Amino acid sequence: MGTGFAIDTPLRVARYGISSVISAVDDLLIEQMREYHSELENEPYEEIPASGDDPRARRITEYLNLLDRLLDRQVEALQASPFEPGSEITRYYEMLPEGKLKDTYRQMLACTDAERKATLQQQLRESAIPGGIDVNIMSKGVRELYRDGEKMPTEFNDAMAALRGFANSTVSSSIVFSAGMNPRLYGYVAQFDDFFPDDEGRLKKKIVLKVSDYRSAVIQGKFFAKRGLWVSEYRIESGLNCGGHAFATKGLLMGPILEQFKQNRESLVKQLHALYIKALAARDRCPVEMPHEMRVTVQGGIGTAEEDDFLREYYEVDATGWATPFMLVPEATNVDDEHLKKLMEADDDEVYLSDSSPFGMPFWNLRNSASENSRRGRIESGKPGSPCCKGHVSFNSEFTEIPLCTASRNYQRRKLEHLAEEGLTEEQIARVEEHVLAKSCICNDLAGGALIKFGIDTKATPAVCCGPNIVNFSKIATLEEMIGHIYGRLSLLTNDSRPHMFIRELALYAEYLRDEISWYATGLLPRPPEYFSEFRENLLEGIEYYRHMVEHLDEDSRRPFVEGLNEIQKAVELLAPPVAV
């Protein structure tokens, strides 16, 4: 969800049992938020300057420690609050889904025996468990750190420093690795005791992998297991139907991927556990006879309680993730008033898969955000590119020894000046210019909403990385309302023509393949022709899978689902993959 939108979400929702994920990219924002919340809560604050010793890791550690302390206080206050309308503990239980704990709550409300009622209330107080303060690291975020023109040791790169910051904190939660495999970073996890089982076999800190296919999960899971590290959760994310960066597969769709996990989950646990216990023994670590829990969860484009239920029941996933709709819940996330209004009014044209990210991956963007308006304004004034304030995406060493960010003014000026020397046609130059100028300073602007909301920088120009699902929601919601929508108590959807999440993802992939073929035709996309044939074939196989799966959907959903399949299949069949010469 970007850097700023959920930077303090645990303080807003964790006490109600809701887990959320903080981005560890922007340590300057993290330091600003630590100062803000320390002052708000009368906590001592001492600045950690960028010029100090290991500042990035220390900033992250201290912020997480602050959140941990504040959440402990919140939970203590919630558990001590009275069971009366509007109280914290009542709010906790009223938002819960149906289940044993909700049944116990209802029994307590209906109980007329004072002693029995008090016993049930005590049981409920002890069962009011908070959600996690989880932290996300983009595994490819390996910007090397330079000081006085000299490269710092590898362990000071952005990703490793963020991991160290999390590992040294007091939180008992999960580190979420996204953006693909990074062997050096993954190996570094083994340097920290909290990721290994304690004497009772418990893990204080857990590993979560965001994956977009089963094969990737197996490879990464084995990598960790061979080092005595257990992956506690595989978080399957749609390749395209998600917010922020999009990690497109070669046409592998969510339904077939979930089916693979469902069919192979038990054997995966056995494979990994065998490697895990062998590695623990080699490290003289506490043996673990029975496998730890291995959760399979899914996120990306979920929009209704019916879809949520289907994922849990048919594919047997342990949990689902919702993010984009929460951008319209001000008490949960940080979106300034101007962009809340823009999100409510956004349509499919304004929410688009862009070239904005300097990471070089497709990036879901809001076309009329202040960040995008500023980017276009700089181009019109003849000064394209951004001043590079934070440099977290400075990876390009095409023109300089110390890498530059491709969104920076310094890089874009040099790149545009050198285009004439690259032997390109006029058409190719035009396409490359468009691609270069699309890059935006997201590592700074994704913090903008939080900076404005908390009065830290009222002149910030926020970027908004909502997923395409936002166009189906167009009104501000309370936390209770959004939770109610997720559990089917009410509906916040405002788009009656919204397709099923699987159909939406399929349509996005068909469009993505069409764009890839178009890029290849310009001679600017260095892919082998076989890539396009494989992509197209995977889409057609996915469509065939859905034709068999559709009978498991509820009856009202089947007809529009099949109609969507038929329409997209025709479009995919008309796509002509390039042929090798």
- Listing DSSP states for 531-569 in one string gives HHHHHHHHHHHHHHHHHHHGGGS-HHHHHHHHHHHHHHH
For residue 285, give the DSSP letter. P
For 187-245, write each residue's pLDDT tens digit.
999 999 999 999 999 999 999 999 989 999 999 999 999 999 999 999 999 999 999 99
Q: Verify that 9 and 157 share a domain, yes or no.
A: yes
Query: Residue 74: is its pLDDT beyond 60?
Result: yes
Q: Give tens-digit pLDDT for 404-417.
A: 999 999 999 999 99
Distance CA 289, CA 314 (A): 30
Tell me the mean pLDDT in the region 455-469: 96
pLDDT reading at 140 higher than 80: no
Whole-number average pLDDT of the chain = 95
Q: Which residues have a Cβ under 8 Å from the Cβ of 6 and sit 6 or more positions away?
A: 20, 21, 22, 23, 333, 334
Q: What's the full length of the chain, in residues?
A: 581
Over the stretch 32-66, which tens digit does the pLDDT of each residue have? Answer: 999 999 999 999 999 999 988 999 999 999 999 99
* Within-domain flag for 535: yes
Q: Is 282 inside any structural domain?
A: no
549's tokens: 């799966």
Provide the residue range defining the domain that includes 371: 331-495
Which of 179-183, 289-293, 299-303 is the least confident region? 179-183
Partners of residue 394 on adjacent β-strands? 405
Task: Select from 69, 283, 292 the least CA-distant residue to 193.
Answer: 283
Same domain, 39 and 151: yes
Torsion sign across C-alpha atoms 216, 396, 5, 473: negative
**Domain closes at, from 110, 142, 161:** 161
- Among 297, 295, 293, 298, smallest CA distance to 273 is for 293
Q: Is residue 145 part of a domain?
A: yes
> What are the tens digits of pLDDT across the range 495-550?
989 999 999 999 999 999 999 999 999 998 889 999 999 999 999 999 999 999 99
Residues 28 and 77 in one domain: yes
- 138 in a structural domain: yes
What pLDDT sits at residue 579? 77
Tokens 């509007």 locate to 86
Residues 447 and 520 in one domain: no
The pLDDT score that the predictor gives to residue 485 is 98
Residue 467 near residue 364 (C-beta atoms within 8 A): yes
Q: Is 314 exposed, middle or buried (0-12, 13-18, 19+ CB in 10 A)?
A: middle
455 with 468, same domain?
yes
CA distance 431 to 409: 19
Q: Which two tokens stand for residue 228?
A: 């005595």
Taking 70 as the threshold, does the pLDDT of residue 147 lie above it? yes
pLDDT of 581: 54
Structural domains counted in the chain: 3
Quick one: the chain helix, strand, coil %, rounded to 5?
Answer: 50, 10, 40
Domain edge (last residue) among 495, 512, 547: 495
Residue 321 lies in a domain: no
Cβ atoms within 10 Å of 119's Cβ, excluding its own: 13
DSSP 245: B
Q: State the burial class of residue 554 (Cβ atoms within 10 Å of its Cβ: 0-12, 13-18, 19+).
A: exposed
On whether the CB atoms of residues 493 and 303 are closer than 8 A, the answer is: yes
Q: Are residues 552 and 437 in the same domain?
A: no
Q: What angle do CA 478, 483, 485 make, to 5 degrees?
A: 95
pLDDT for the residue 141: 63
Model pLDDT, residue 165 = 98
- Is 180 part of a structural domain of the chain? no
507 with 485, same domain: the answer is no
- Does 395 map to a domain? yes
Mean pLDDT (whole number) for 554-580: 93
| 121, 19: one domain | yes
pLDDT class of 152 with cuts at 50, 70, 90: confident
Over pLDDT 90: what percentage of the chain? 90
- Contact criterion met (CB below 8 Å) for 350 and 366: yes
Q: What percent of the chain has pLDDT over 70?
A: 99
Rounded to 5°, the CA angle 243-244-245 comes to 115
351 and 470 together in one domain? yes
Residue pLDDT, tens place only, 371-395: 999 999 999 999 999 988 888 888 8
Class of residue 192 by CB neighbours under 10 A (exposed 0-12, middle 13-18, buried 19+):
middle
- DSSP codes, 135-154: EEEETT--PPPEETTEEPPG
Residue bearing tokens 């490697």: 275
**Quick check: 580 pLDDT over 70?**
no
CB 412 within 8 A of CB 386: no
Which residues are CB-contacts of 147 (< 8 A; sequence separation ≥ 6)?
none
pLDDT of residue 23: 96
Is residue 556 within 8 A of residue 495, CB to CB? The reply is: no
Query: Rounded to an integer, what distance in angstroms lies between the CA atom of residue 229 and that of residue 292?
Result: 11
**What is this structure's pTM?**
0.95
Residues 547, 480 share a domain: no
* Same-domain check for residues 372 and 433: yes
Last residue of a domain, one of 161, 196, 218: 161
* Residues 425 and 550 occupy one common structural domain: no
Q: How far is CA 508 from the centre of its chain?
A: 19
- Would you say residue 88 lies in a domain? yes
